[in-house]
Amino acid sequence: MVTIPTALAESVVRREGEAGREWIAALPELIVRHADQWGCEPAGPAWHGETAVALPVACACGPAVLKISYPHRRSRAEAIALRCFAGRGAVRVLESDDDAFALLLERAGPRTLDSVASVDEAIEIAGGLARRLAVPAPPEMPSLADATRLWERQLLQQAAAAPGLLPAGAVDRARAVIGALAADATPTMLHGDLHYANVLKASREPWLAIDPQGRRGTAAFDAFTVITERPSRLMARAAVLARIRRYGSAAGVDPELALACCQARASSAYLHQHGGNGDWFDLDLLRTLIAM
């Protein structure tokens, strides 16, 4: 019997309501069915994000992970992205059931990029992966440009709810960056959520990415997630710029565009956290980015 993590169940029901409750109720049977179908045996406790469960398994092809996600477009884009990467800098897809949003994935980890002692080295590793993941995107892949209208709408709503919270002109500058990204025609893939926990130590390659959002667009977008890790020694403007330039060099993207993406995303994150929606980013670092 598979035990579904309580935190996952609560998260899915909070987001999806009764449909989420029904999915959670069916999830144990989904796990058992796909484990049997793909010849897998559980090899440890499950872990989870907010909308998916991942179970380490042993199967004929070796150590793997059985991942089942709540049915939504982002989960489908993840599967497309991983197939597109084809093991180049990311875990391989071993089996899949698109109708059930189920994947059997190459297992990596458990060490994450956070285990690298040097922040500079970690940024270079993440940037190097971003460069390698920039493979031609398939026609069905959603683009970063597609997401900009919703991003701008949320930014304006959050700014209106907290008048004066951001420095004068910060919202206008963020809107200008969003507008530029709306016209982005980059034909290659980006990860979309390249934080340290999504980069795992591996044996086939030194490091492999997991859990891509699946988008077509500039890898400059991922600079924000990479450079905001371990912020305690990253409060000075010069240090922030050094991190962004290091990422830009490793990822092969324009550092000025990476800086602009960081500033726009920092503005959105600051407003989001001010509204009581999580505490993922260091507020002092966000303020430094916004003021640059």
Active site residues: 193
All residues at 6 or more sequence positions from 178 whose CB lies less than 8 Å from its CB, including other chains: 148, 151, 152, 155, 264
Contact 262, 208 (CB under 8 A): no
Residue 218, phi then psi, degrees to nearest 5: -70, 135
Strand partners, 104: 66, 95
Q: How crowded is the C-beta side of 280, counted as CA atoms within 13 Å?
A: 19
Map residue 165 onto helix, strand or coil: coil
Burial class of residue 87 in the structure, from the number of CB atoms within 10 Å of its CB (0-12 exposed, 13-18 middle, 19+ buried):
middle
Number of CB atoms found within 10 A of residue 128's CB = 18
Biggest CA-to-CA distance, the chain: 59
Residue whose structure tokens are 């599967």? 79
H or E segment and range at residue 24: helix 18-37
CA distance 247 to 243: 6
